[in-house]
Structure 1
Amino acid sequence: MTGNSETDISGPTSAGGEPDEFQLEFGDLPALLRAWRAEAGERLGRAKALPQKEVAHRMGVSERWYRALESGAQVPLTADTLTSLADALDLGPDERTALYWYRRTEVSDEEHPHGDDGRMTRLKQFVDAQSNFPAYLIDHAWNVIACNELMVQWFPWVREPRANLMRWVLQNPESREQIVDWHRQASLYLAQLRFALFRYPEDATLQALLESALNDSDCRELWDAGPRIIAFRQGGRFHLSLPHVSQTELVVTAQVLLPAYRPGARFVALMPA
């Protein structure tokens, strides 16, 4: 409901009044909203965060409604409300994706609960067939599902049991030698991990990845620096030092594809920049 009521905390309804309200259940949303208000204030050249009252005014809702949302109350939201919220906070594409994700319906294999009808086999064959650049397939928690021979040559660890890209980047000392700008890349990986936890808040593997990472002082400092969120690193640029592959520094970009019928999975090719 729009207006200036200080007693009503219901959100705006969509045009036409269709029943599309839902509840956001992400535990980190209040903290993110506070951080995004601070960033919005900084972008506007102010010495403090954008006030709750101003965010509410920009959205066309009561200040009471916005305070309830930021306090973690179960406030009903619509797609239009999320758009207004994203606009009011001047969010970038990744932050908007995090807000909108809860409304998205993913394609699933519910018709094939006991098998993928050969789909995963064909995906693995597709990965293996790439011969011009390293390529790999990971699941929503960065577990390596498949990789081609060039990826193995560049990064032999991918063939280890339970190989996990996020764990290697954040916790393996080897990654700090091979990723030239490790601190920057680690910060970006942590931003992706934050998005994954926003999307899968109950996932035990993701929670374990974060818990292990935060035991490292460098990762803890990067995590505490701010609640940055990155959804997918399409075109992410990497500088690599791999003496067993090249005597000169390698610069590649990550080209990311999202396979159909495999929610959360990502096909990644490391192509020359």
Structure 2
Amino acid sequence: MDGGDRVEDDDRADGESISRLLRAWRARIDARTVPELRYTQPRPGRRLSQAQAARLTGVSEGWYRALEAGRRQDFSESFLLRVAKALRLSEAETLTLFLAVCGRRPPGDPAGAQKDLPHGVKALLEQQVSYPAYLSDGGWNVVASNSLMGEWFPWVLRPAPNLMRWALLHPEAREQMLDWEDSCARTYLAMLRVAANSAPADTELRALVREILDADADCRRIWAQEHDVVEHRDGHVFRLRLPYHGNAEIRVTTHVLLPIQRPDLRFVFITPMDGWAGV
């Protein structure tokens, strides 16, 4: 093996697939093209070795070797991200590394909401003319919406629209969402509880929870008294009274989809019930 690389017995166990991938990814790196290795001794050969990969990721050779061998260790997200950078992994390869090693997706890109929407996702949103629809990120920031969503809910046209801030803190939400406490507040706070525990390192999400609890006494009371958890609102039924419908009461349900091209976003449709056809 080049550079003293070793294949451990554990490579035959359940880590075999990721072990082979890691070796293949490392083998395609020409160590002579890595700036951080330019002045090291001994001078790097063509193939990146395990020792050099360990050097690039800031760990011991034994720790890196354990990763390549497929041994179960407490590998941190920061280490795996350094491995992805050192081995010049693509987005799909980085996802594969994380799912194989720790069973979860890589931490979200802080600039994810700024990425261009895939053409197909944007076209589907814009061409939806029957019902309101919008895209939101993991922090419930609305990153895009169709024209009907803006007519039903003008708040999405305001700067930096956020579903949780509007639904839980804005006075008009309590007028427009009937049974606000039981149908809206308890559900949304239960969703925030799941999200906060799923991503404890997400400072933006933690700040959103703190902002809502600091700003509203009803939300603080519900948060303290309730222990329910809700992952999403797919299929949830709301009763609304909106100016767009002349303040007539309507019942709607939400449908939550995850675009395969942007799994960090939620694609939400709002459809009327009871045969209502006033769009």
Give the TM-score category using the shorter length.
0.5 to 0.7
What whole-Å deviation, never above 9, does each CA across 1:6-26 have from its counterpart, x for those lacking one?
xxxxxxxxxxx957xxxxxxx
Alignment of 1:84-99 (within 5 A): none
Q: Is the 8 A contact 2:176 2:241 kept in 1?
A: yes
Shift of 1:187: 0.8
Structure number with the higher helix fraction is: 2
Query: Hey, what does 1:69 align to over in structure 2?
Result: none
Is 1:191 paired with 2:157? Answer: no
Q: CA 1:108–1:203 in 2, change beyond 3 Å: closer, same or farther?
A: closer
- Which structure has the higher relative contact order (CA within 8 Å, separation 6+)? 1
Q: Secondary structure at the match of 1:219?
A: helix
Shift of 1:244: 3.1
Q: Secondary structure at the match of 2:243?
A: coil
What whole-Å deviation, never above 9, does each CA across 1:53-73 have from its counterpart, x for those lacking one?
xxxxxxxxxxxxxxxxxxxxx
Alignment of 1:7-46 (within 5 A): none
Q: CA 1:104–1:135 in 2, change beyond 3 Å: closer, same or farther?
A: farther
Q: Is the 8 A contact 1:107 1:262 kept in 2?
A: no
What whole-Å deviation, never above 9, does each CA across 1:103-131 have from its counterpart, x for those lacking one?
65448999xx9x96x65343222212110
**Number of residue pairs matched by the alignment:** 176
Query: Hey, what does 1:26 align to over in structure 2?
Result: none
Q: Secondary structure at the match of 2:234?
A: coil
Query: Hey, what does 1:125 align to over in structure 2?
Result: 123
Shift of 1:246: 3.5
Cα RMSD, aligned residues only: 3.2
Query: Hey, what does 1:209 align to over in structure 2?
Result: 208
Q: CA 1:129–1:239 in 2, change beyond 3 Å: closer, same or farther?
A: same
What whole-Å deviation, never above 9, does each CA across 1:126-185 have from its counterpart, x for those lacking one?
212110010000000000011111100011110111110011011111100000011021
Q: Is the 8 A contact 1:107 1:261 kept in 2?
A: no
Gaps of 5+ in 2: 1-12, 16-73, 75-100, 274-279
Q: TM-score, with normalisation over the residues of structure 1?
A: 0.57
Alignment of 1:43-58 (within 5 A): none
Q: CA 1:109–1:193 in 2, change beyond 3 Å: closer, same or farther?
A: closer
Structure having the higher Rg: 2
Q: Is the 8 A contact 2:108 2:264 kept in 1?
A: no
Shift of 1:262: 2.1
Q: TM-score, with normalisation over the residues of structure 2?
A: 0.56
Query: Hey, what does 1:248 align to over in structure 2?
Result: 248
Mapped to 2, the partners of 1:269 and 1:237 lie a distance apart of 12
Mapped to 2, the partners of 1:257 and 1:174 lie a distance apart of 27
Mapped to 2, the partners of 1:104 and 1:127 lie a distance apart of 31
Identity %: 41
